[in-house]
Amino acid sequence: MSQYDVAVIGSGPGGYVAAIRCAQLGLKTAIIEKYANLGGTCLNVGCIPSKALLDSSEHYHNAQHTFEIHGIELQNLKVNLKQMIDRKRDVVKQNTEGVSFLMKKNKIDVHTGVGSFLSNTKIQITNGKESKEIEAKYSIIATGSKPSSLPGITIDKKRIITSTEALELQEIPKHLIIIGGGVIGLELGSVYARLGAKVSVVEYTDSLIPTMDRALGKELQKVLKKEGFEFFFNHKVTGASAKGKAVTVTAEDPKGAPVEFKGDYCLVAVGRRPYTDGLGLDKAGVQMEDRGRIAVNDHLQTNVPNIYAIGDVVRGAMLAHKAEEEGVMVAEILAGQKPHINYNLIPGVVYTWPEVAGVGLTEEQLKEAGRKYNVGKFPFLASGRARASMDTAGFVKVLADASTDEILGVHMIGPRAADMIAEAVVAMEYRASAEDIGRISHAHPTYTEALKEAALAATGNRSLHL
Ligand code: FAD
Ligand code: NAD
């Protein structure tokens, strides 16, 4: 039986990064993945393929709507969906092969099959061909998550689909009904709206991306409406059914009256649930908490001292970069170090266009905590760079402590917000004041000048270009 210092179960961004860091720290490491392709949800059916389709569909949208204004004329523009999906598959392949390369480079043993605990140190690995056992001093569970559904809805994977099927459609829906106005609904809704589908979003709460600063969802709603989205807020979905090529979604409107939506595809995007099926947690004695998550302490250690858990399968945001940080943290703990994650500074991003990004506390959270703060806001409409690229929708908002000027939150919607938020994360990690950012030189013309201007606005209305 092969013996390891560490066995990692699951090869998503949590698991494969944990394995690399363990190997870097001199621990003999194995990774167990049930699928032949490494990379988990993120690389195979999540972050990477969705961004590939978002980029392709955005090129088409721009070719259709803005090229002419730039002085570029096209004829016979059309979408080749098969080619778009093939390119996406190729991008996925390059990334998953990249992870396999990294495993080899770091001398990590890859075991393909379902990993199931036999005890707290023994793991059985089973695939169609064989079953074997390995032994590990420590284990890291990184088994991720799967799409959730709602009572009364059976996902048939043909007409009533999850994000996984939405990344592989053979045709552009005529009318895509999306249950859930969160990240997946808006990203994948954007893909198909840009390609010509009518998109209706049925959302339970009163706003889009309800967990982010409220101003972001409001602005995004305005932009997406112009792209042809329709929104139904405060609607409680009660069922969905498919008959032939038609789907019907039933819901209760804000007054509780029944309503029906008819389309040809229904994307269920109401969140994801932690995945622990077949893991044999009972044999290892690992305890769960509510909502199917594995219970962990502040060091990501389960109740069984030599077993840790990270990523989507434990509490916190279901984000690839959160899973990665946790993978590094556990590896370093196992090597005797004392790492720390500042969960308040894990940024959240939505890859619509304009992109949406936020870090730190939202205005709603500050109000609820009764904390005094200053707000500085700068619209992209006033940015020279944004005018040059015709990306003038959106703004940057900086929230700073009223007495110390420390930046408490940065929330933005605009061009390249996904990349720009990194500056805010660095600033907040070093506990910068809004004035610090206002006094740092930002290259001109760049979108990042909007962050500087918003920071200046937060320190006594000193914005220079507004
Ligand atoms: P996962 O990536 O889910 O990996 C878990 C792995 O464990 C899987 O490969 C699974 O097969 C394997 N596994 C499970 N059980 C076993 C077992 N018993 N034995 C062996 N292997 C097992 N996040 C972002 O930060 N940015 C984005 O842009 C983004 N876009 C997304 C888009 C979509 C459509 C979706 C669905 C998700 C997106 N996410 C995004 C979320 C992100 O994918 C997850 O947060 C991330 O993948 C979680 O990583 P993980 O390592 O915890 O688990
Ligand atoms: P989500 O939590 O972002 O959004 C789910 C939405 O569905 C919410 O707005 C919620 O109010 C709504 N909802 C719940 N029940 C409903 C009902 N009965 N009727 C109508 N609406 C209902 O979840 P998601 O969009 O499915 O994404 C799942 C996870 O994947 C998220 O945690 C997210 O962090 C991650 N993800 C991240 C990215 C990214 O970082 N860019 C992209 C995609 C997914």
The reply to whether 444 belongs to the active site is yes
Closest CA to 15 of 135, 108, 121: 108
**Ligand 1 in reach of 405 Cβ (< 6 A):** no
pLDDT of the residue at 415 = 98
pLDDT tens per residue, range 14-36: 999 999 999 999 999 999 999 99
SS3 454: helix
* Pairwise CA distance, residues 210 & 234, whole Å: 12
Closest CA to 8 of 334, 283, 290, 289: 334
* Pairwise CA distance, residues 437 & 463, whole Å: 12
Probe residue for ligand 2, chosen from 204, 224, 293 as the CB with the greatest number of ligand atoms within 8 Å? 204
Ligand 1: nearest atom to the Cα of 35 = 11
Probe residue for ligand 2, chosen from 50, 183, 267 as the CB with the greatest number of ligand atoms within 8 Å? 183
* Pairwise CA distance, residues 461 & 463, whole Å: 6
3-state helix, strand, coil in the chain (%, to 5): 35, 25, 35
Sign of CA dihedral 6, 11, 15, 21: positive
pLDDT of the residue at 200 = 98
**Ligand 1 in reach of 9 Cβ (< 6 A):** yes
Half-sphere exposure of 430 (CA within 13 A, CB side): 10
Q: What is the pTM of this model?
A: 0.98
Count of Cβ atoms closer than 10 Å to residue 338 Cβ: 8
Is a pLDDT exceeding 90 seen at residue 128? no
pLDDT of the residue at 290 = 84
SS3 304: coil
**Among 59, 65, 444, 465, the one annotated catalytic:** 444
pLDDT tens per residue, range 423-457: 999 999 999 999 999 999 999 999 999 999 999 99
Domains of the chain: 2-146+273-341 (3.50.50.60), 160-270 (3.50.50.60), 345-458 (3.30.390.30)
152: exposed, middle or buried (Cβ count in 10 Å: 0-12, 13-18, 19+) = exposed
Is a pLDDT exceeding 90 seen at residue 111? yes
- On whether the CB atoms of residues 392 and 401 are closer than 8 A, the answer is no
**Ligand 1 in reach of 348 Cβ (< 6 A):** no
